[in-house]
Chain A
Amino acid sequence: MKYLDEFSNPQLAGVLLERIRESATRRWAIMEVCGGQTHSIIRHGIDQLLPETIEMIHGPGCPVCVTPLGMIDKALDIASQPGVIFCSFGDMLRVPGSSKDLFRVKSEGGDVRVVYSPLDALELAQANPDRQVVFFGIGFETTAPANAMTVYQAKRLGIKNFSLLVSHVLVPPAIAAIMESPDCRVQAFLAAGHVCTVMGTREYPPLAEKYEVPVVVTGFEPLDILEGIRRTVIQLESGRHEVENAYPRAVAEAGNPVAKQMLEDVFEVTDRAWRGIGVIPRSGWRLSDRYREFDAEQRFAVGDLQTAESSICRSGEVLQGLIKPHECAAFGKQCTPRNPLGATMVSSEGACAAYYLYRRLDLPAEVAHA
């Protein structure tokens, strides 16, 4: 289905694939943590080009997908309130809450706005002093510095009508949770490059050591991913479990110290629920006491909402690498990008959406032609 000539440098891709083929003597299961990497792997058919002994397992690294249903419901509740301008990234618009989504709130007349940056939301707050402006602060370590800086600026500039609905999640505790699952099949990780751009690589050696699992920091582009897989397979074959940086052009060992200092000032570590997975201890950030006044959950008192998860959606198992998207009975039938049951079908970085978009021909005929 996929051909090497779709790569930006087919010769190099061919060489990397050959090296992987030569190195792999056994079956190995490698998880790519990042949703951007999942999208790239499926888009380029990397999983199909790899030797059959190498299985790519898709990880939980899509911030849109793992934002818990309860948080989506809180967003919908706040966005529906009069006098509120609710700001979000565009890919949150169609993530289903218990009864609707932000797109629907907008259709019903709610003032939902898509912004490129959280600073745009802060500008909206300055321009609309009689309105409450709320920004939906989702994302991993890559996104958190932007939201941290925005709250810092709000405090510094004395902007009282801005708040953040905080749902930040952290990658290393998720890796630990995956490795501690009794059903875990993951033998190596491709770590998310841009998370490491901010946080550096120093959190990973203790994980590699404790779980005896190779971790290779990897970029998003197809050749980066092939190189990450190649290095991972070499470690697996030789019985090593080290942290390697295969993305040095964007990742330094120390990460971005200025951003890390801001994160430390504005946020503190908290337990966080992940959609479909449940609570992972110390796996997220919330606003620290110094900035708690900017917490939208407190400002709008949305702590006690009841949620209703789809009973047939298996996105939690997909996010943990326990099943592949097409192994869910609803995939491509009740659940499509047009009518998503779970967030993994909404976000373009979600594993279900990636499978749906690029694997239609692999589906049973009645589904593919529906």
Chain B
Amino acid sequence: MCLAVPGRILSLQERNGTLMSIVDFGGVQKDVCLQYIPDATVGDYVVVHVGFAIQRLDEESALQTLAEFEHLGVLKEEFGNGFEIAARQAGLANPETAQPQQSDEPEVRS
């Protein structure tokens, strides 16, 4: 969650009185709030952090950064399934897909 990722605005819409957009991050598309860059428009590149555009960015810088983040595996981490990633790191079953355990089972940590 630490990084902000550049993406391109595909469309604009107002939702609940809030300026929202669909932003493309090198193939992954997400809902992004544009309230902090209110004059941004379709085709612009913006730096997006946790679903909010916080700054405009030129196209060349944006594309370079996206390529770099793809290379680093950052995009997968940013947009992947949180429980799946955590389960893999922990070597445990994904609790979103597994049956709930009984709370009196032994603690997993050693």
Contact = CB atoms under 8 A, between A and B. Distances in A.
A263 to B, nearest CB: 10
A103 interface: yes
Given A90-B85, A197-B47, A259 B2 contact: no
A114 interface: yes
Nearest to A223: B68
Interface residues of A, number: 59
A180 B98 CA distance: 49
Given A108-B101, A142-B49, A103 B83 contact: yes
A157 B16 contact: yes
A64 interface: yes
Interface string B70-110: 01100001011111011101111101101011110001111
A35 interface: yes
A149 B33 CA distance: 10
B103 A108 contact: yes
Interface string B48-74: 011110110110010011011001100
A259 B72 contact: no
Contact of A116 (B30, B55, B67, B92): B30
A58 interface: no
Contact of B95 (A63, A107, A198, A348): A107
A194 B49 contact: yes
Contact of A145 (B52, B71, B77, B79): B52
Interface string B13-52: 0001110000000000011010111100000000101111
Interface of A: 8, 34-36, 40, 43, 61-64, 89-91, 93-94, 96, 100, 103-104, 106-109, 114, 116-120, 139, 142-143, 145-146, 149, 153, 156-157, 194, 197-198, 220-222, 249-252, 256, 258-259, 262, 334, 337-339, 347-349
Given A116-B51, A153-B16, A338-B89, 14 more contacts: A36-B2, A40-B72, A89-B1, A89-B82, A91-B82, A106-B96, A114-B81, A118-B51, A142-B2, A156-B17, A221-B65, A222-B68, A249-B57, A334-B110
Interface of B: 1-4, 16-18, 30-31, 33, 35-38, 47, 49-52, 54-55, 57-58, 61, 64-65, 67-68, 71-72, 77, 79-83, 85-87, 89-93, 95-96, 98, 100-103, 107-110
28 contacts: A35-B2, A36-B3, A40-B72, A61-B2, A90-B80, A106-B83, A107-B92, A108-B100, A109-B100, A109-B103, A116-B30, A116-B79, A117-B50, A118-B51, A143-B1, A143-B50, A146-B49, A149-B33, A149-B35, A149-B36, A157-B16, A194-B54, A222-B68, A251-B55, A262-B36, A337-B89, A339-B110, A349-B2
